[in-house]
Amino acid sequence: MDLEMVSYLSKLGKLNFTEEELKKAAEDMTSIINIMDTIKDFDIAYDPFADNKNVYLKDLRVDESEPSMETEKILQNSTNSNNCFVVPKVVE
């Protein structure tokens, strides 16, 4: 796998890599993809209907609103102020 591809994948995953880390990741990913490529020998297509045959949509939980967790509890693991999550300024 080339550096350009790894760089693209890291961008998708919102991850920063140094140049050295990127090279190491490309080497690792090349070896990993070699194993994954064994799957290409396998000549069969996925049948989505086979996986869904036991799905019964009528058995779902009733859609009823219920009290949610207290805001204080939800915010306890975050940087927050006035009952809101704090983020860097988004609008210029």
Partner 1 sequence: MDVTSLKISDMREMLDKKEISAAELTSEYIKRIKEFDSKIESYITVTEEIAMEQAKAAQAKIDKGEATALCGIPLAIKDNICTEGVKTTCASKMLENFIPPYNATVMEMLNSQGIVMLGKTSMDEFAMGGSTQTSAFKKTKNPFDINCIPGGSSGGSAACVSASLAAGALGSDTGGSIRQPASFCGVTGLKPTYGRVSRYGLVAFASSLDQIGPIAKNAHDCGIILNAVAGYDRHDGTASKKETADYTSKVGKDIKGMKIAVPHEFYDKGIDADVKASVLSAIEKYKEMGAEILECSMPSLKYAVAAYYLISSAEASSNLSRYDGIKYGHRSEKGDTFGELICNSRSEGFGEEVKRRILLGNYALSSGYYDAYYGKAMALKQKIVKEYADIFEKCDVILTPTAPSVAFEINENVTDPVKMYQADICTVTVNIASLPAISTPCGYNNSGMPIGMSIIGKHFDEATVIQMADAFEKQFKTAAPLIK
Please count the residues of the chain.
92
* Extended beta strands in 1-92, E state: 80-81, 84-85
Tell me which residues touch partner 1 (CB under 8 A): 1, 5-6, 9-10, 12-17, 25, 28-29, 31-42, 44-47, 50-51, 59-61, 69, 73-74, 76-79, 85, 87-88, 90
Of 19 and 50, the one with the shorter C-beta distance to partner 1 is 50
Least distance in angstroms from the C-beta of 39 to partner 1? 4
| CB-count exposure of residue 6 (10 Å: 0-12, 13-18, 19+) | buried
